[in-house]
Chain A
C-alpha cells in the first residue's frame, strides 16, 4: 500500500525567501503526482499535476519536480509572500490500478512572516 510522507511538517520563513517542500512515496509505480494547497477550514486547491513521464512542472512562482525512481517530489516556491501561508499537500493515486483514490501526505504547514 502506498505511503506518502511530507517533510517538514511545519515551516516558518520570512517573506521573500525561496523554499522547498518535500514529498516522498513508497511505491514508484505512479501515474502522476499532484500538489495541493489548503487554507484553514477550506477545501483543496490544485497547484500542479506532474505526469509520471514528466520531470518538472511550473506555474508562476511554483515549480514541482518528480523523481519516480527515488520516490520523491519537491515543490519549490520562489520569492515567498504572506499569501502563500497555507498547508501544502501532495498526493498520488493508489498503486495497483483502478479507482482507488488518492493517497495524501499529512502536509507541510507553511507560515510566511511579513
Chain B
C-alpha cells in the first residue's frame, strides 16, 4: 500500500513568487492536513481538508491557502513568497476527520525562498 506522496521534494523560489505543493494521501484516506516545519518554530499546523472542504486553519496569513480534490489529493499554495516561508512542508493523511486516528506523513517538500 503506497504511503503519502508529496511533490515536488525540493523547490527554490524567488521572493514575491507563488508556489503550489501537492499531496496524495494513502489510498482510502479522506482527510489531509498540512504542516510547516522550521528550525525556530518546529511543526505548526496549517490547515486540514476533508471531503473537499477546509475544516480548520492554523494561525497563518491568508497567503497560505489550499484545496482538496474529489480523489482526496490536496494542494497548498503560497502566494507572494517571503524569505520566512522557507521551510519543510509536510502533509499528513488520516482515514477520516477526527482525533482518534493515526496520522501518516509524507516525506515533505523542502521550499527555499531566495
Chain A contacts to B: CB under 8 angstroms: 31-32, 34, 36, 41-46, 49, 51, 89, 91, 93-94, 97-107
Return chain A residues, CB-CB under 8 Å to B105. 36, 43-46
In Å, the complex CA distance between A44 and B46 comes to 16
- CB of A42 within 8 A of CB of B99, answer no
Instruction: Pick the 7 closest A-B CB pairs, nearest first.
Output: A101-B45, A99-B55, A93-B99, A44-B105, A31-B99, A104-B43, A43-B107
In Å, the complex CA distance between A105 and B28 comes to 29
- CB of B99 within 8 A of CB of A32, answer yes
In Å, the complex CA distance between A105 and B90 comes to 16
Q: How many A-B residue pairs have CB under 8 A?
A: 67
Given contacts A36-B105, A42-B108, A99-B48, contact A106 B99 (CB under 8 A): no
- CB of A104 within 8 A of CB of B42, answer yes
B100 within 8 A of A: yes
- CB of A99 within 8 A of CB of B97, answer yes
**Complex interface residues of chain B between 47 and 92 (CB less than 8 A to chain A):** 47-48, 50, 55-56, 58, 88, 90, 92
Return chain B residues, CB-CB under 8 Å to A36. 105
In Å, the complex CA distance between A97 and B97 comes to 11
Q: Which of B33, B50, B104, B110 contacts A41 (CB 8 A)?
A: B110
Q: Which of B4, B47, B98, B103 contacts A102 (CB 8 A)?
A: B103
- CB of A43 within 8 A of CB of B106, answer yes
8 residue pairs A–B, Cβ–Cβ below 8 Å: A32-B100, A42-B107, A46-B103, A98-B55, A98-B56, A102-B45, A103-B45, A105-B42
Among the interface residues B43, B90, B100, B103, which one has the most CB atoms of the partner chain A within 10 A?
A: B43
In Å, the complex CA distance between A23 and B108 comes to 24
